[in-house]
Structure 1
Amino acid sequence: MYSSNNPNDKSPIPPPQYGRQAATGYPVQQGVEGSWSSGLCDCGEDVPNCCITFWCPCITFGQIAEIVDKGTTSCGASGALYGLIAWMTGCPCIYSCFYRSKLRKQYMLEEGTCNDCCTHFWCEGCALCQEYRELKSRGFDMSLGWQGNVDRQNQGVYMGSTAPVMQPGMNR
């Protein structure tokens, strides 16, 4: 099934949306720039993640990078590279700001008053926590990684939905 009636257009139709966001990464409203699900400084919404990010931001960054890259990079590799850059330069934002930009483009989120690099430079921990909360609010279980979320979706447990998905076919 393809997105247009043009026989040369082979782009797939996005899967149906259940809840806010499916694990495939398709935004709910395509083409419309939207707001973040939480503010930059709303760390009170997820205190455990804020603590992890404060003490070891490479863990949070690795989880974000794996989801944003749709499983093409691993949490461990991304987190280790983040830690290495932080150790060598003292400025891991030169790496992490690019993932904020990718996340914004994937979900058509507004940039805000400060660009992504400045946001990460001045508020690295807050930016990582906001990105983590955004993915979590879109239905991702950050502890599962990309493949775990895809497997969960393929088993009929769609992001943001507690109702089972009915499969087409004959039922008795």
Structure 2
Amino acid sequence: MSSTRPYDVEEQPWSTGLCVCFDDIKSCCLTCWCPCVTFGRISEIVDKGATSCVSNGAIFALIYYLNTWACLYSFSYRTRLRRELRLKQDPCHDCLVHCFCMRCALCQEYRELKNRGFNMEKGWEGNANKHREVAMAPKVEGDMKR
């Protein structure tokens, strides 16, 4: 007899392909010229605000411009994002995707978060506040009477 647990959900495909930049030229250009900004924004969302876009982006830039092995730092965020969102490891292992197609991988991760409703320019706090405002009860003015 097999038991199914709530966390045994089948992994889903990414909402966009790895090399699909035609749908979002703005983020693709950002990633092409400033991958540290794209990575910083992604990492802040994945870390749920525990780290800042600026600090993670600066670490990424430092590694990238000093020894070009930033993929070893950035792939771990792809893995965390993929596990959190229950996405398939596609087209190959996360480390290989980042080492050979880092900019495409960052663009895909950025698009995935945007497609799931995140405003990437606002960061974690801006998105969390948006969701809190929706869930809050309306303020009641004056006294309540029967």
Whether these two folds match at TM > 0.5 is yes
DSSP 3-state at the match of 2:18: coil
Partner of 2:118: 140
Partner of 1:46: 24
Residues 145 and 36 (structure 1), Cα distance of their counterparts in 2 relative to 1, 3 Å cut: same
Name which of 124, 141, 146 aligns with 2:102: 124
Instruction: Tell me if 1:97 matches 2:75.
Output: yes
- Higher mean C-alpha deviation, range 72-81 or range 110-119: 110-119
DSSP 3-state at the match of 1:156: helix
Distance in 2 (alpha carbons) for counterparts of 1:110 and 1:66: 22
State the AA in 1 paired with 2:95: C
Deviation, 1:30, is 7.2
Structure 1: 5+ residue runs without aligned partners?
1-28, 158-164
Deviation, 1:130, is 0.1
Deviation, 1:34, is 0.4
State the AA in 2 paired with 1:42: V
Report which of the two structures shows the higher radius of gyration computed on alpha carbons.
2
Distance in 2 (alpha carbons) for counterparts of 1:34 and 1:113: 13
Pairwise CA RMSD = 2.1
Residue correspondences, number = 134
Structure in which a larger fraction of residues adopt helix: 2
Partner of 2:60: 82
TM-score normalised by length of structure 2: 0.86
Structure 2: 5+ residue runs without aligned partners?
1-6, 139-143
Instruction: Tell me if 1:59 matches 2:37.
Output: yes
Moved over 3 A (4+): none
Q: Can you list the C-alpha shifts for 1:30-72, whole angstroms capped at 9, x where unaligned?
A: 7221010000001111001100100010000000000001000
Q: Can you list the C-alpha shifts for 1:120-159, whole angstroms capped at 9, x where unaligned?
A: 01101100000000000010000110011010111118xx
